[in-house]
Amino acid sequence: GENVEQHPSTLSVQEGDSAVIKCTYSDSASNYFPWYKQELGKRPQLIIDIRSNVGEKKDQRIAVTLNKTAKHFSLHITETQPEDSAVYFCAPKSPSGGYQKVTFGTGTKLQVIP
Amino acid sequence: NAGVMQNPRHLVRRRGQEARLRCSPMKGHSHVYWYRQLPEEGLKFMVYLQKENIIDESGMPKERFSAEFPKEGPSILRIQQVVRGDSAAYFCASSPLSTGQGFDGYTFGSGTRLTVV
């Protein structure tokens, strides 16, 4: 199965600074690369995604970059705000057992210090 | 569209009792995925079901756990003879098609937080 790792596991930044979280995956057939945000006590929510034919995608203060050769993709958050504090999960999708299986990373706890 | 509905939101069971968790997918969705999240940990895949079929149960413990998605009604995750280690948040997500056929991201329900005392 797919091995998915996230780094760092925890990240503290000052409000206004940038944050970068990296996700490394093992299956070169992976073709869809999303990031989910989970606030304390709440459900994970999709915040941005990218497909394998695109290198970068941006949505206001968040962006995702993909390096298929190196098998990693990253979440970039600029001008961080306290409400960005949450756990972030990557969840690449790869073919497995006849369907596209999603494997979640271990999560990165982001703390934005006001 | 009410989204993915899970109930109950919180469930307390004594050791040895049974827990039944329900997930109603979004309208028009016929695929359901169950994930377990232990405190301070990530989401672990448990089972993927289509209506009346289990497609992938590779993440489900072999004993005490079962899942179904009947033709009518919600998907049910059933845990028999619960133990303290079963305490976790259980999330489900639904899709209209199997992932990889035009559907990509998950929409999760609010989860059921199971506490075994």
State pLDDT tens for residues A73-89.
999 999 999 999 999 99
Quote the minimal CA–CA distance from B82 to chain A in Å.
Answer: 22
User: Among residues 38-97 of chain B, which lie with CB inside 8 Å of chain A?
Assistant: 41-45, 48, 55-56, 58, 91
CB contact under 8 A, A99 and B104: no
Give the count of alpha carbons within 13 A of A3, CB side only. Answer: 1
The pLDDT tens digits along chain A (114 residues) read 789 999 999 999 999 999 999 999 999 989 889 999 999 999 999 999 998 878 999 999 999 999 999 999 999 999 999 999 999 999 998 877 667 788 899 999 999 999
Exposed e or buried b for every residue in B5-38, given b needs 16+ CB within 10 A?
ebeeeebebeeeeebebbbbbbeebbbbbbbbbe
More confident residue, B103 or B117: B117
